[in-house]
């Protein structure tokens, strides 16, 4: 099904559906972080969302809108972990089966959590197999509805509730947000957050933060159309490995984003350590990349109020030990 890009009204409607089901996550701040940046930094702690990431918002909003007959047959998704857990949790809420296609090299904690939430996990080799092909075949055989990770207006609207919620929290504090920095992979979160924030603060500049070498959104914004990254390397940010932005998110990006910045793994680990020290939250690498962008100065924060989306906290212990050994920014 092809859907048009969502609007601010779609995000408001998604917020109404999610009320009482999604966690209203806190907006955190730290005097030490503010001093290091030279401005005010407000961190939206989506690591405290159900299943440990913002992804629950989009999964629930999408499944809630499926026709009842279609929904009863179950859903299918493909994901390296956070979308997988979110779809499994939302499916469990509705009492329906969920089949999740996950790469065999996904973090063990994400695979285990998806299974614990009732998802039927099918592993594949991301180097030699296509998750879309595997998923498409299974969906056709079992009559399952596909819940895509980002290229769906219902997903984008659900993710956008994090931005709307944060903007209204800032507004309640009497604060006007000058800029927002958001992790980006396929672009569903940053598209939704941009729409949600712009409904409250129309002049807010929105930036995407991506792993170094995997900055396809930055390249796409500069090119004016979706283009893939060209990296054959690796990154700790396992949640941010989409090859290029989705078509529906990019329709929003063109009108609502200032641009993108790319962060290396060292900066991400330092941001994870800073979040632990100053905000008392646990972030996964992909969840800390926007904080890394503002702390490093890749997105300048001096004299500005910056909203940072801390998108997830599902991290393997070994990776987190590396973060705790890193030098913090503040």
Q: What is the mean pLDDT of the chain?
A: 95
Lowest mean pLDDT among 73-77, 186-190, 235-239: 235-239
Q: Give residue-wise pLDDT tens across range 144-159.
A: 999 999 999 999 999 9
pLDDT of 206 reads: 98
Q: pLDDT, tens digit, for every residue of 242-262?
A: 889 999 999 999 999 999 999
Mean pLDDT across 80-98: 95
Report the pLDDT value the prediction gives residue 1, as an integer from 0 to 100.
47
Task: Please give the torsion angle defined by the CA atoms of residues 162, 317, 270 and 330, in that order, rounded to the nearest 10 degrees.
Answer: 80
- Which domains, ranges and CATH numbers included, belong to the chain? 8-53+152-324 (3.40.50.1100), 56-146 (3.40.50.1100)
289 vs 283: CA distance, rounded Å:
9
End-to-end C-alpha distance for the chain, whole angstroms: 46
d(CA 122, CA 99) in angstroms, rounded, equals 7
Rounded to an integer, the average pLDDT of 104-128 is: 93
Token pair for 129: 């197999």
| DSSP per-residue codes, 148-180 | -SSSSHHHHHHHHHHHHHHHHHHHHTT----EE
d(CA 233, CA 220): 19
295-306 per-position pLDDT tens digit: 999 999 999 999
Q: Taking residues 231-251, what's their average pLDDT?
A: 90
83-92, 126-135, 267-276: least confident range: 126-135
- Angle at alpha carbon of residue 303, lines to 299 and 308, rounded to 5°: 45
Our CA angle for 41, 44, 45, nearest 5°, is 125
With the C-alpha atoms ordered 279, 284, 287, 290, is the resulting torsion angle positive or negative? Answer: positive
pTM above 0.75, yes or no: yes
**Which residue in the block uniquely carries the two structure tokens 């590396």?**
322
Determine the pLDDT at residue 8: 98
Q: For position 48, what pLDDT does the model report? A: 98
């Amino acid at each position: 099904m092809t859907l048009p890009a969502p609007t601010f009204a779609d995000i408001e409607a998604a917020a109404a559906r999610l009320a009482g089901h999604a966690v209203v996550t806190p907006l955190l701040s730290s005097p030490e972080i503010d001093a290091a940046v030279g401005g005010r930094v407000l961190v939206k702690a989506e690591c405290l969302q159900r299943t440990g990431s913002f992804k629950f918002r989009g999964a629930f909003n999408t499944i809630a809108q499926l026709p009842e007959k279609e929904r009863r047959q179950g859903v299918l998704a493909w994901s390296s972990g956070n979308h997988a857990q979110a779809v499994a949790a939302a499916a469990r809420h509705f009492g329906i089966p969920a089949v999740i296609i996950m790469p065999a090299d996904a973090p063990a904690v994400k695979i285990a959590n998806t299974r614990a939430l009732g998802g039927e996990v099918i592993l594949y080799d991301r180097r030699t197999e296509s998750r879309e092909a595997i998923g498409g075949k299974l969906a056709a055989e079992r009559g399952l509805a596909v819940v895509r990770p980002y290229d769906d207006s219902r997903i984008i609207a659900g993710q956008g509730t994090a931005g709307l919620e944060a903007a209204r929290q800032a507004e309640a504090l009497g604060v006007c947000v000058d800029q927002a920095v958001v992790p980006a992979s396929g672009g569903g979160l940053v598209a939704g957050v941009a729409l949600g924030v712009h409904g409250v603060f129309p002049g807010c500049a929105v930036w995407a933060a991506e792993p170094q070498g995997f900055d396809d959104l930055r390249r796409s914004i500069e090119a004016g159309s979706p283009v893939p990254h060209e990296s054959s390397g690796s990154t700790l940010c396992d949640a941010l490995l989409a090859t290029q932005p989705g078509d529906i998110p990019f329709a929003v990006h063109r009108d609502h984003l200032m641009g993108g910045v790319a962060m290396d793994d060292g900066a991400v680990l330092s941001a994870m350590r800073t979040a632990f020290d100053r905000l008392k939250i646990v972030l996964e690498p992909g969840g800390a990349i926007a904080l890394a962008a503002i702390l490093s100065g890749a997105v300048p924060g001096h004299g500005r109020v910056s909203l940072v989306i801390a998108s997830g906290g599902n991290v393997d212990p070994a990776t987190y030990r590396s973060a705790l050994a890193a030098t913090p920014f503040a």
